[in-house]
Structure 1
Amino acid sequence: MRTAPLAFFFAAFATVVSTETAGAADVAEPVRQVMAITKTNWESVDAGWKFIFDPDPLAKLFSKRFQAAYKEAAKHPAYDTENNEPGDPFGYDVVTNSQDGCPLQDISIVPGAAKDGVTPVKVRFKQWTCIDEEDIKNSVSEVDFDVVTEGGKPVIDDIHRVADNERDSVIAEMQSLAKGQQ
């Protein structure tokens, strides 16, 4: 009879440890999915382009706060589509911060330590490998993602493009767009 409670304790402990380990391992998953879409986009022609803010990825990969900011910003589209529907509020790829580029190379995704419920995930990649000029060709772009947990799963709460030791905020940009300030 003494072995049953002990066995139960070890089984419960193993479950808690494996759950915590799995949760920690998955913190970068929404970022990996966004980067997979972005990588595929830059490898294809415009006809194959998939927007990270299409309804399905927006609902699955981004926080409620991010979704709300996008919904408001989308009221001010950057362009109209061919079927006279409004496009998204950005006239460029928010991850690469550009309208032009090459297939992405050397992508690294590194989660940092969580602080105040936010886990930073640093992404680095080469965006201009098809350019002949060596300095541009070998330059490395950095994008930082803020990941939070909602409903028990990690989601992206903000995106920060990093250049010249400064970080911007896609949330702040969407809030400006919603006010008609861009």
Structure 2
Amino acid sequence: MRLAFTFFVAGFVSFAVPASAQSPDPVAPVKEVMDITISNWSEDVDEWKSIFESELLDRLYARDLVALYRQASEKAAKLFDSDDPVDPFDYDVVTGSPDGCPLQDVKIALAGEKDGVSDVVATFRLWTCEENEDTRNLVTEAHFEVVQEDGRAVIRDIYHILDGERDSVVEELRTMIAQEDDE
């Protein structure tokens, strides 16, 4: 009976945690981040949810990215004279923009793997509410570097692609941390 209860509890716990928390599938953590991003840009969003919320950090992201994010958050907190960590980004790192419209035509796919790093690509239309047809039909592309840590897939870096250039979230965090305080 005790063994059956243990299996029941273990099964219940595994259902209570999102699949991306347990999965070696490199697309799983990206899908969870994109679901949050889609919700954030929807017309009926009540409250913006950070893709770097404390609960998500250790579950969806690689240890190195988490350490950099926490360090940059602490530095931002000092700049804003806050006792709590502050999100160091003033824009959405997935869309690469502080503004936008409800995301449409979202596609997430594994683009390839090399040396233990999976390239998961998310494409979407961000400017669907704009009047200009060319702007409205622009396709935005974000790349997620996904690696395996402790048997699960985690995001190591996020790159927003604009005009053929890749902006690295990790490099941006390093730059923020390295900047001298103006005090």
Whole-Å Cα distance in 2 between the matches of residues 161 and 151 of structure 1? 27
Whole-Å Cα distance in 2 between the matches of residues 181 and 62 of structure 1? 27
Whole-Å Cα distance in 1 between the matches of residues 180 and 44 of structure 2? 31
Residue matched to 2:15? none
Contact between 1:107 and 1:125, CA under 8 Å: does it hold in 2? yes
RMSD over equivalenced CA pairs, Å = 2.3
Deviations along 1:78-125, one digit per CA (max 9) or x if unpaired, are 8859x8745210111111111111010000111022111100001100
Residue matched to 1:43? 42
SS in 1 for 2:89: coil
State the identity as a percent.
42
Q: How many residues align?
A: 158
Whole-Å Cα distance in 2 between the matches of residues 91 and 180 of structure 1? 16
User: How far is 1:156 from its partner?
Assistant: 0.2
User: How far is 1:71 from its partner?
Assistant: 1.1
Letter in 1 for 2:38: K
SS in 1 for 2:159: strand
Q: Do the aligned partners of residues 85 and 57 (structure 1) sit closer, same or farther apart at CA in structure 2, a change above 3 Å counting?
A: same
Superposed, 1:67-86 pairs within 5 Å as 67-77=66-76, 80=80, 85-86=84-85
SS in 2 for 1:155: strand
Superposed, 1:101-112 pairs within 5 Å as 101-112=100-111
Residue matched to 1:176? 175
Work out which of the two has the higher radius of gyration on C-alpha atoms and give 1 or 2: 1
Whole-Å Cα distance in 1 between the matches of residues 180 and 167 of structure 2? 16
Whole-Å Cα distance in 2 between the matches of residues 164 and 113 of structure 1? 21
Q: Do the aligned partners of residues 46 and 85 (structure 1) sit closer, same or farther apart at CA in structure 2, a change above 3 Å counting?
A: farther
Structure 1: unaligned runs, 5 residues or longer: 1-22
Whole-Å Cα distance in 1 between the matches of residues 124 and 26 of structure 2? 19
Contact between 2:74 and 2:86, CA under 8 Å: does it hold in 1? no
Q: What TM-score, normalized to structure 2?
A: 0.79
Q: Do the aligned partners of residues 134 and 44 (structure 1) sit closer, same or farther apart at CA in structure 2, a change above 3 Å counting?
A: closer
Structure 2: unaligned runs, 5 residues or longer: 1-22
Whole-Å Cα distance in 1 between the matches of residues 51 and 65 of structure 2? 12
1:132 matches 2:131 = yes
Residue matched to 1:162? 161
Whole-Å Cα distance in 2 between the matches of residues 156 and 44 of structure 1? 27
Deviations along 1:31-89, one digit per CA (max 9) or x if unpaired, are 000000000001156741110111011111000011011011112328859x8745210
Residue matched to 1:65? 64
